[in-house]
Structure 1
Amino acid sequence: MTTKNKFGIRILFLTMFLISTVFVPVASAETLTEDTDNIAIGEMEYPVPEPEPITVLDTTPKLPYLHLLEADNEEQEILFSYIDNCYVSDEEKEEMKKSMEDIWKRYPDQITEQDNLMLDKVAKATAEYLNDKYGNSEVGIKWIGQPVHGDIINISVKKWGVSDYYAGIARDHADDPDDWSDSEIWQSYHHYYNPNTHTGYAPSNCEYYANIAKTNYGDSQLTTAYTNLGYSSHYLQDVGNPLHTGYEVEQGMDKWIHYDYEDYVEANWDSGYNFKSIVENNNNYYTITDPEQATKDLAGYSNTYLDELYQTIYFNPDTWENDADIRDLTEDVLLRTAKYNLGLVKYMRS
């Protein structure tokens, strides 16, 4: 597993409004000639089923620490066991447990600012213990990097009958955006989108490179076109991961959850559950006319699984990887992501 960038979300929200622009590289133009590749073979079409309609979901703002507020009786006992292992005094542990019992009795009504301060205290204290026990102090900003990003766009390009050569160009550049910034804050902000708060640059980044690719393609600059398609697909794929669509504060503390889910997808990509086969076996696509909106739509769909994914991992750290519901939701968001990626390829080539 590659070293992952810290998911500095709490700092992010203090700084993201202070910076208005960021510079990332664009592939240089290169006109392909018939001497280097056979364009006719490289651009051969084959039938793909009719597009599916895109379902746009309504989203509403969520309270912070929802996973703590909505804990059931069993999960409440698990939280108390986390508190018992926190690195605080016995008096503080008892205070936190009594406060949580009181909050649960009143939730969802009469939640006060004082309650939010206590939730923050409990979350920070338990996160310190859980990060030590289950995780790592660093969080990735990608599904898991190689080979997921590259595989998804490589498969998507080839399903339109494009040659291995051009599919390989898109594949080889799909991971590049992860190396474009030394700033952990901006790196995180550029690779996610929260449909509830409408924050994150993934949609605009996807559109920016998709339109460059489309222009390159129209000018027969195919190498450059597929390079920028790889860049664009990266941001679209990112929001297919529910953990790239919210819970910024929570993930900023309980970093181990993001880390462990990335490991889970990587370990089951082409073995185990073989998540890669979900992408390989898909032949349906969504028609994309606006890559930015398409990325927001995918984030909205992915976000519907965020609560379930986060709470299942948080309250079942030793067993969640065997949970059938987690496997099912992972397959579902990967299938949805595959359909959007097929649509993105068609968008560039139309």
Structure 2
Amino acid sequence: MRDSTRLRTVLAVLLLISLTLVALELRSSGTGFTKSIRTISFNIISPFQKSARSFTDSVQNFGSTWREIRIAREKVKDLESENLDLKEKLANTDENRRRAAELDALLKIAGLGTYEIVPARVIAIGAGQDYSWTVSIDVGSKDGITADMSVISGLGLVGRTISVADSTTLVALLADPSSKVGARIGGKSELGFISGNGLPGELEFEIFDPLSEINEGDRIVTWGSEGGRPFVSGVPIGEVIGVKSSPGLLSKTAKVKPFVKLSTLDLVSVIVEAPRIDPRDSLLPPMPVIPTPTPAITVSPSPSPSQK
């Protein structure tokens, strides 16, 4: 503020001197004395005028630059906001597509198996009651759910209902150590039990007949409980990834990788009515096609007539 007052004082003095020179110019036609005073005054005033002009230009340039910076910042904020909106829309689109695909798979497996289902969403995961692997779903007794019903996803068996409230249900997953499901090898009649071991990506299959053949790549399905509770028949469980035989024991065990990724559940269905006809192996995913190697053909050049 003090510098601004000083500048205004200097400019006022310069203006007064300029007016004095103009008055002298009007009174004189340009005598040597007046001309000398004007020249000297010009030489004195000129640097101050340049400084004042430079200061004014700097202030104007600073104001212009600050406005440009402010506008640029506002544009950056707008672009960041638009980018965030686009990311959210893209994420929502991908999520909706994923859920639509899961729902299609659920409807397909229910249709092929002639299961009557109630779709549900997983709303919580963790330990519950006397179980270490459970999920809560958003349907309950008001939707016709009771205890000991099969729960499936679009890929296969998830577990069974164990506790039912008005609008929620607790489900024990296949991975729970207390879980035990009657099962058989797809395409065969060999029976056994699938058990959980606390690992979401691995189950154990104990086959009744230790002399029966079981191989890696065999697929396991439920054989079904009496009345379809707690487990209906024909639901895919998983694929054999390893076989273990113990000499002297009257059993044979295999490691099974479940078709359902139990740690990432979202959409599931509760089977409220068992099928009248066992779907057998019709719900199993198709076997991977192993390409047949093409034999290499070597072409030998025919001898020319001169070589015969």
Coarse TM-score class (shorter-chain normalised): under 0.3
Question: Normalising by structure 1, what TM-score?
Answer: 0.22
Higher strand share: 2
**Higher relative contact order at CA 8 Å, sep ≥6: structure 1 or structure 2?**
1
Question: Normalising by structure 2, what TM-score?
Answer: 0.24
> Rg larger in 1 or in 2?
2
